[in-house]
Copies of this chain bind each other. A is one copy, B any other.
């Protein structure tokens, strides 16, 4: 049964390995970290490592799965707001800065980006697909890719920033930069970008966004902490 709590020694060992990897990634970058490094830092025997993980990568994957779970949970709980994961993820990264910098930042590995890109791509597609209008002028796959690309670029740069801006500002900037083009290109119906006043009003012209007032204003309202999910994923 997967719910069964493993042996205390196992927990200790896995935890030590995990902590060692994160610390080393912050120091040398993922690529430069060697299994021997991890073993020394975690102060465990060589064979012990290989009974738990096959690889350096394997350790990373274990961590990433938890991040993916966290992401999906927050997306589901976002009340259907467009790009609901965004604010939550910025907030989470803010609180777990060291860990996430190790993963997402300059020194993180390709693996991490690939994996997170997959997860985000799924989330964004589920966000956009049901809202796409009949007059879309850009294939949805392409829209999804560009949204995810832009978001990941912001996030990656942000974690490496020494004096980071508040998560709220990052989320707002992302929305203001990305949403207008997506709305126009996909002929989005009821973007539900800001408050709950979305009236189901449909946009007609794809090229020229004629502002309709408050219902599509890009703000950070409707943001409330989700206590049950705020527990860091690690």
Whether B142 and A154, one on each chain, are in contact in the complex, defined by CB atoms closer than 8 angstroms, is yes
Nearest 7 A-B pairs (CB), nearest first?
A149-B153, A208-B211, A146-B150, A180-B180, A150-B150, A177-B181, A180-B181
- Residue A184 CB within 8 A of the other chain: yes
A213 and chain B: residue at smallest CB distance:
B208
Chain B residues in 8 Å Cβ range of A39: none
- Please pick, from B139, B148, B177, the residue contacting A143 in the complex, using a CB distance under 8 A: B177
In whole angstroms, how far apart are the Cα atoms of A221 and B185 in the complex?
18
- Residue A152 CB within 8 A of the other chain: yes
Chain B residues in 8 Å Cβ range of A209: 180, 208-209, 211
- Please pick, from B177, B182, B207, the residue contacting A142 in the complex, using a CB distance under 8 A: B177
Chain B residues in 8 Å Cβ range of A180: 180-181, 184, 209
A residues with CB within 8 A of B: 31, 109-110, 137-139, 141-143, 145-154, 157, 165, 170, 173-174, 176-182, 184-185, 207-211, 217-218
Whether A173 and B142, one on each chain, are in contact in the complex, defined by CB atoms closer than 8 angstroms, is yes
- Please pick, from B139, B152, B181, the residue contacting A178 in the complex, using a CB distance under 8 A: B181
- Please pick, from B109, B147, B176, B210, the residue contacting A137 in the complex, using a CB distance under 8 A: B176
A184 and chain B: residue at smallest CB distance:
B180
- Please pick, from B139, B153, B181, the residue contacting A179 in the complex, using a CB distance under 8 A: B181
In whole angstroms, how far apart are the Cα atoms of A4 and B139 in the complex?
49
Whether B207 and A211, one on each chain, are in contact in the complex, defined by CB atoms closer than 8 angstroms, is yes
Question: Could you name 29 residue pairs across A and B whose Cβ atoms are closer than 8 Å?
Answer: A31-B110, A142-B170, A143-B173, A143-B177, A145-B150, A146-B153, A146-B154, A146-B174, A146-B178, A149-B149, A149-B151, A149-B152, A149-B154, A150-B153, A176-B184, A176-B185, A177-B181, A177-B182, A178-B181, A179-B181, A180-B181, A180-B209, A181-B181, A207-B217, A207-B218, A208-B209, A208-B211, A210-B210, A210-B211
In whole angstroms, how far apart are the Cα atoms of A176 and B173 in the complex?
18
